[in-house]
Structure 1
Amino acid sequence: MTDYPPADDRLKHLIAQQVNLGVDTWKLAFWIADGIVKDPEIRAELERIADAHSKGQPCGDRHCERCFAAALTETDR
């Protein structure tokens, strides 16, 4: 049994799967995903979001489902 996406390249594979919905070839999707994964600003943003979440703080991204759900839970109390 193989695990897909592979643990050592999971982020690129997950991005490529989404990009592949809008491009002509799987190869192009992987090329785009590779550029995204290797971009230092994107990596820094992912780390910033993960750091905020690990501390139980909102990340400040208005599209973050986790923070949106947490805000709803707090207002329901």
Structure 2
Amino acid sequence: MTYPPPDDRLRHLLAQEINTSVDTWKLAWSIAGGIVKDPEIRAELDRIAKAHSQGQPCGDRHCPHCFDAALTEADQ
């Protein structure tokens, strides 16, 4: 079995990150579940993924993908 499981990977990854800031895994798991189910967050993830798949910047100033792409363009 691989971890995190592919059928709930996003929730597991979020819970792992949240778990460093909360007291229990159960709380981290609950918070992550709420994030994954939020339609606005899902829409934003889809928007970012679509922009990146089309080779466009996503517009998020904290996006490492866009930052790296901008540096690569500047070097050429």
TM-score by length of 1: 0.98
Which residue in 2 is equivalent to 1:65?
64
SS of 1:53's partner is helix
**1 CA distance for matches of 2:19 and 2:72?**
35
Moved over 3 A (4+): none
- Could you list the runs of 5+ residues in structure 2 that have no partner in the other structure? none
1:20-59 equivalence runs, <5 A: 20-59=19-58
Deviation at 1:7, TM superposition (A): 0.2
TM-score by length of 2: 0.99
Number of residue-to-residue matches in the alignment: 76
**1 CA distance for matches of 2:36 and 2:23?**
20
- Could you list the runs of 5+ residues in structure 1 that have no partner in the other structure? none
Give the alignment's Cα RMSD to 1 decimal: 0.3
Deviation at 1:21, TM superposition (A): 0.2
Amino acid at match of 1:24: D
Percent identity, aligned pairs only, is: 74
